[in-house]
């Protein structure tokens, strides 16, 4: 019953105002417009840490719609922190201010340090990890490229065709992953799109030459990929 009474109180405070004659004159205008604070220090700092985690995930790891959802989630978490009150808490009759007093500096300091560590360490670790993952994925393309280049240079048609198909699959998976998702290591690289297009053109050109039975031309076309991959690996 208590949550329903709280819900009615919330509706009367924020939806019925300013109907003439309501609320009663014993309540001040300012008191009705300003919700009472019901978020304690620890509660607010926990929400800050969660919001930070969402922002880090959105910036370093997510792509497309998921990135937007994480940013919105961070904003939703931060609004009650800034206001000092939570509408859901008010409806349910919760008040975390009573759980941890603001004068408890030890807990406050611990949460502040945790928030700073998350921002610094989390961002650094995410940058390093996403870069390593990117280089590993690129390494798979490089491995397939090396085998395809060697097979066309040896003039073995059957093996060259098989290695060409393997290269196409490896690059297609790499291109599909990084066409929308951009880790920090390439997020601000103005040459990345052009490099991807050049790799795609070289693979397409070598395939066409191979279908015509000209392994020498296919080999020369594939050689164009080498310097591009080296530049992409030099990060």
In terms of average pLDDT, the best of 16-30, 41-55, 84-98 is: 41-55
Q: Are 130 and 185 in contact (CB under 8 A)?
A: yes
Which pLDDT tens digit goes with each residue over 82-130? 998 888 888 888 888 755 555 566 777 888 888 899 999 999 999 999 9
pTM for the structure as a whole:
0.78
Question: Domain 123-233: which CATH class?
Answer: mainly alpha
Residue of higher predicted confidence among 11 and 172: 172
Residue 26 buriedness (CB in 10 A; 0-12 / 13-18 / 19+): exposed
Q: Are 232 and 178 in contact (CB under 8 A)?
A: no
Q: Where do the domains of the chain lie?
A: 1-34, 38-103, 123-233
Q: 12: which 2 tokens?
A: 């009367």
The C-alpha atoms of residue 194 and residue 190 are separated, in whole angstroms, by 8
CA angle 143, 147, 149 (to 5 degrees): 115
């Amino acid at each position: 019953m208590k949550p329903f009474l709280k819900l009615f109180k919330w509706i009367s405070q924020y939806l019925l105002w300013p109907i003439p004659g309501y609320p009663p004159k014993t309540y001040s205008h300012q008191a009705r417009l300003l919700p009472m604070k019901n978020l304690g220090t620890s509660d607010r700092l926990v929400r800050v840490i969660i919001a930070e985690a969402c922002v880090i995930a959105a910036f370093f790891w997510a792509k497309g719609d998921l990135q937007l959802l994480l940013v919105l989630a961070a904003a939703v978490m931060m609004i009650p922190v800034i206001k000092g009150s939570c509408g859901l808490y008010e409806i349910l009759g919760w008040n975390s201010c009573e759980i941890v007093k603001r004068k408890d500096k030890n807990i406050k300091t611990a949460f502040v340090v945790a928030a700073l560590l998350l921002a610094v360490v989390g961002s650094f670790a995410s940058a390093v990890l996403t870069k390593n993952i990117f280089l590993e994925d690129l390494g798979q393309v490089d491995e397939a490229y090396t085998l395809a280049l060697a097979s066309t240079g040896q003039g073995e048609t059957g093996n060259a065709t098989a290695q060409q198909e393997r290269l196409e699959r490896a690059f297609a998976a790499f291109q599909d992953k990084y066409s929308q998702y951009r880790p920090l290591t390439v997020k601000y690289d103005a040459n990345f799109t052009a490099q991807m297009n050049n790799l795609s053109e070289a693979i397409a050109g070598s395939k066409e030459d191979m279908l015509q039975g000209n392994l020498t031309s296919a080999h020369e076309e594939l050689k164009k990929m080498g310097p591009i991959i080296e530049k992409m690996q030099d990060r």
